[in-house]
Structure 1
Amino acid sequence: MSKIAGVIPFKAKPGQGADVAQALADALPHVEKETGTPLWMVLHSEVDPDCVFLVDLFTDEAAREAHMKGDAAAQIFATVPDLLAEEPVIHPAKTIAHKGI
């Protein structure tokens, strides 16, 4: 399994967490075409309904770079920012431990 990952927390404007989650989820058809992105998840917090996380796993650094320049990222950058309370911070990450995929 690859250790190349990414985590992006999104802080929605008050009451718009579900809209942010759906706008992110709408990019899934683009991600499904990316052979270098075997795992991509949108997580909507149950603790803070205005917090949404995007978590992804990549086959290698090139796949992560391609993803960030691809159609899914373009769609997200075009539709999500107006719903946010603050600009998201992209956290390139390395997997330390996992179970499953």
Structure 2
Amino acid sequence: MDETSRGRPSDRHTVGPSDVSGRKNMAVAVGLLVTCEAKRGMESEVEQFLRTGGEMAKDEPGTLLWFGVRLGPTTYGIIDFFPDAAARTAHLQGKIAHALTDRADELFTKAPDIKPLDVLASKLP
């Protein structure tokens, strides 16, 4: 996926007036899928980290949607979406990314796997 092709206006998917944040006409074009494997016995700490990350995401105006999820007994993920590549880059340089990096050795068996996403289709409220 070429960074220059991401986030073109024709590639954006708009959230209507009843979106969960109260913002209208959010254009969702790109995202991130982060997966990580918790160290044995660290599952509750990872879950608390994700809850804290969700609170921190509320302070990022360019982060339109943010989800911390459990994919399995010790596998967790973060899925978040942005209006464009610039907002995604800002997020990757922000507080949540720094916290993830700072605590990765403590919480996870290996470095989190971070994959950029391009939104091709969506169904949003």
Would the TM-score normalized by the shorter structure come out above 0.5?
Answer: yes
Letter in 2 for 1:5: G
| Aligned residue number for residue 92 of structure 2 | 68
The two structures have a TM-score, normalised by structure 2, of 0.71
Q: Distance in 2 between matches of 1:51 and 1:36?
A: 27
Letter in 1 for 2:50: L
Following superposition, the deviation at residue 61 of structure 1 comes to 0.3
| Aligned residue number for residue 99 of structure 1 | 123
- Alpha carbons 2:32, 2:114 under 8 Å: kept: yes
- Alpha carbons 1:18, 1:50 under 8 Å: kept: no
The two structures have a TM-score, normalised by structure 1, of 0.86
Query: Relative contact order: is structure 1 or structure 2 higher (C-alpha 8 Å, sep ≥ 6)?
Result: 1
Q: Distance in 2 between matches of 1:6 and 1:59?
A: 12
Unaligned residue ranges in structure 2 (runs of 5+): 1-12, 14-27
| Aligned residue number for residue 79 of structure 1 | 103
| Aligned residue number for residue 43 of structure 1 | 69
Q: Distance in 2 between matches of 1:91 and 1:17?
A: 22
Letter in 2 for 1:18: S
RMSD (Å) for aligned C-alpha atoms: 1.6
Corresponding residue pairs, total? 99
Aligned residues with identical type, % of pairs: 28
Local SS of the residue matching 1:90: strand
| Aligned residue number for residue 19 of structure 1 | 45
Q: Distance in 1 between matches of 2:43 and 2:119?
A: 27
Letter in 1 for 2:53: A
